[in-house]
Amino acid sequence: MPVQRLNPAPAETQQLGRHGLLDYVRDAASTIQPVTATEIVLLALVRELGARLERLEQHAFELQAENVFLSAQIAAEKLKYKQVMEQKAEQEEGLDSQTLYEEALREWREAEEKRKRDAAFAKEKNKLAMKAFNNKKAIAAKKGKATTSRRPVLIPIPKAIPRPRKRDFFE
Pick the more confident residue, 49 or 2: 49
Q: Are 126 and 154 in contact (CB under 8 A)?
A: yes
Q: Which of 48, 53, 45 is nearest to 22 (CA)?
A: 53
Burial class (CB in 10 A: 0-12, 13-18, 19+), 141: exposed
When pLDDT is averaged across residues 67-81 and rounded to a whole number, the result is 95
Residue 145: pLDDT over 70: yes
Q: Give the integer Cα–Cα distance in Å for 124 and 76.
A: 64
* pTM over cut 0.75: no
Among the ranges given (10-24, 28-42, 72-86, 123-137), the one the predictor scored with the smallest mean pLDDT: 10-24
Q: How many CA atoms lie within 13 A of 45 on its CB side?
A: 6
Q: Give the integer Cα–Cα distance in Å for 139 and 135.
A: 6
124-144 residue pLDDT tens = 999 999 999 999 989 888 888
159-169: b (≥16 Cβ within 10 Å) or e: eeeeebeeeeb
- Summary mean pLDDT of the chain: 83
When pLDDT is averaged across residues 148-162 and rounded to a whole number, the result is 88
